[in-house]
Amino acid sequence: MSPAQEAPLCVFCRKNPAEAKWRPFCSERCKLQDLARWADGTYRVPAEPVNPAEGPGEDNTDTPDVT
């Protein structure tokens, strides 16, 4: 039998195991600090991923085709 799985580390401090109550953080402190980072703008919300291919059969790109 394998021992109890270790809890994943807190995503903020990455030192303490995440507490079920504060998942994925180890404590309220880490949770609040993480939120503060968001509010501070440290984290950047990734822009919407641009789909290179809009869809099949709709290729209007005017690529220079050297023949």
CB of 66 to Zn ion, least distance (A): 56
| 18 interacts with Zn ion by CB under 5 A | no
Q: Which two tokens stand for residue 41?
A: 């703008």
| 13 interacts with Zn ion by CB under 5 A | yes
List 1, 3, 6, 10, residue binding Zn ion (CB under 5 A): 10
Of the candidates 29, 32, 8, the residue with the CA atom closest to the CA atom of residue 18:
8
List 6, 12, 60, 62, residue binding Zn ion (CB under 5 A): 12
- The Cα–Cα gap between 12 and 35 comes to 10
Neighbours of 36 (CB within 10 A): 10
Q: Return residues touching Zn ion (CB under 5 A).
A: 10, 12-13, 16, 26, 30
